[in-house]
Structure 1
Amino acid sequence: MVRGPAVLKLVYIVVAVVVLLMLAPFATVPSGHRGVLTTFGSPSEQVYTEGIHFRWPIAQKMNLVNVSIQKGEGEGEAASKDLQTVHTRVAINYHVRPDAAVTVFRDLSNEPGERIIVPAVHEAVKAVTARFTAEELISKRALVRDDIVTALRDRMARHGLVVDEFSIINFNFSKTFNEAIEAKTTAEQLKMKAERDLQRIEVEAQQRIARAKAEAESLALQRQQVTPELLRLRETENQARAIEKWDGHLPTTTGGAIPFINVAGAREAARP
């Protein structure tokens, strides 16, 4: 007889525990999130941080808002300043500002990517692309990126969103424009080569002129140094060297003009 009420009491306790667990009077906010508590669907203004929080079962629900850095990619077409069709692919890293979790949950239905990020990126890319020519989009890519980020931050900040990183993955143009760019690049390379060749030819010509000028100045200097006294000195030196080499015998015959007289024959003819 005693066991009946005890068992029944135990059953009541177990049922109460099960019901309590099913009703879950406690809510957990995990890392990288913030909680927004709703009472019969109406969100409170308080932002709940990470941890365990009490809630009224059935009446209240803890809704999670992701405040960690999230990544999104997208692509679309726009027109440049010179009316070239530009296909752009971009990537963005963003996060919900923790203190704006209630605003994002209430105003954006906790879907900031679809509600704000995607249309904001498309609008910013189109607006900035229209300010640059197709060629400038390539040569001033960093400036284009900075202008897009500035436009994005102004719009996203109003909704409690923060831009962490933004990248232009690629610009694609029409086949005709790509061919025109390639032809222009080739022409510029040929022009640079021609300019280098011209500079080389000019340098070589200047070098030849400098060498000719130096040779002319050297000859002029030598002519100035050749005086009658120097010529007589050179003649005397040549005669002296000829005498040093003479063996004391005079030639008996000569060809052509006769520079010497046959001394021996002349002496015989002079004898009585």
Structure 2
Amino acid sequence: MKYQNSQNWQALVGGIIAAALILLSFSSFVIINPGQAGVISILGKARDGALLEGIHIKPPLISVVDVYDVTVQKFEVPAQSSTKDLQDLSASFAINFRLDPTQVVTIRRTQGTLQNIVSKIIAPQTQESFKVAAARRTVEEAITKRTELKQDFDNALNERLEKYGIIVLDTSVVDLNFSPEFSRAVEEKQIAEQRAQRAVYVAREAEQQAQADINRAKGRAEAQRLLAETVREQGGPLVLQKEAIEAWKQGGAQMPKVLVMSGDSNSSVPFLFNLGDVAQEPTLSR
């Protein structure tokens, strides 16, 4: 009986030891997946050398592995600044970045979590970089040279974040706002420019109309000159008589019933006489 109890205790202890060994064996390595980097801390002290993707051995029970996501992260960060002409300017930036896998140990020692990186590093450095870019130009240049403004911002932000092990991949200006006073000034300027453009258009239209009138007058004068030359070349009086008849027709009046030609050879225009008008006159009493 005693022998049997002894065997049971030995089996129980053996099972506990085996379970402990299995547990220790599982806690003696860590798997780092693609897109991750790990930092191993032994007794609370971060060990040099980042753990990249793969299987890594670590001391059981006394070590902890902090895993960081080193894929692309995106955060929107607001920023405010003053321009060169002391106008208020605010913006919101979308920043795509990732952590340098080889620098995660330094990041773990200095910043800790990803939330700390955003709030303590990226947000304030975004603010300072925007101040540098905005102070180089006026508020109007911030609109007309927006690409240059963004380039200055990118350069300043990359330089500031690189030393923290943060790689900036891309930035974009989500929103760019100006003070209400400047917005009103821009609106009034646009209205004034539209009115000025309208005035220029009206002036050009009047100038074109005046030039058209001049051209028509020149055309009529030239036509009259050519007509006079034609009259002289083709005998004169007969042509003038024909022109007088055509002018009468074009005037819309009814042609007279009687056409009297002057016997004077120097007369060029026919004398038009309507017998109907004579018939309507009262007869003189004798």
Q: CA deviation at 1:174?
A: 2.4
CA distance in 1, matches of 2:241, 2:69: 112
Cα contact 2:85–2:138 (8 A) shared by 1: yes
Distance 1:232 1:126, change over 3 A: closer
Equivalences for residues 13-162 of structure 1 within 5 A = 13-20=14-21, 23=24, 24-110=27-113, 111-162=116-167
Structure 2: tracts of 5 or more residues without a match: 243-257, 264-286
> Counterpart in 2 of 1:245?
none
Equivalences for residues 260-271 of structure 1 within 5 A = none
In the alignment, does 2:202 pair up with 1:197? yes
Letter in 1 for 2:20: V
CA distance in 1, matches of 2:233, 2:61: 131
Q: Secondary structure at the match of 2:235?
A: helix
Cα contact 1:72–1:92 (8 A) shared by 2: yes
CA distance in 1, matches of 2:170, 2:240: 94
Equivalences for residues 212-227 of structure 1 within 5 A = 212-227=217-232
> Counterpart in 1 of 2:12?
11
Distance 1:236 1:138, change over 3 A: closer
Distance 1:170 1:76, change over 3 A: same
Letter in 2 for 1:181: V
Runs of 4+ in 1 over 3 A off after TM superposition: 1-10, 16-23, 232-237
Distance 1:229 1:22, change over 3 A: closer
Distance 1:177 1:3, change over 3 A: same
Q: CA deviation at 1:96?
A: 0.7
> Counterpart in 1 of 2:274?
none
Tell me whether 44-53 or 112-121 shows the greater mean CA deviation.
Answer: 44-53
CA RMSD of aligned residues (A): 3.0
Equivalences for residues 158-197 of structure 1 within 5 A = 158-197=163-202
Tell me whether 100-109 or 186-195 shows the greater mean CA deviation.
Answer: 100-109
TM-score of the pair, normalised by structure 2: 0.74
Q: Secondary structure at the match of 2:112?
A: coil
CA distance in 1, matches of 2:225, 2:19: 121
TM-score of the pair, normalised by structure 1: 0.77
Q: Secondary structure at the match of 1:171?
A: strand
Any idea what the Cα deviations from partners look like across 1:163-189, whole Å, max 9, x if unmatched? 122122222222222211111111111
Cα contact 1:65–1:105 (8 A) shared by 2: no
Structure 1: tracts of 5 or more residues without a match: 238-253, 260-272
Letter in 2 for 1:27: V
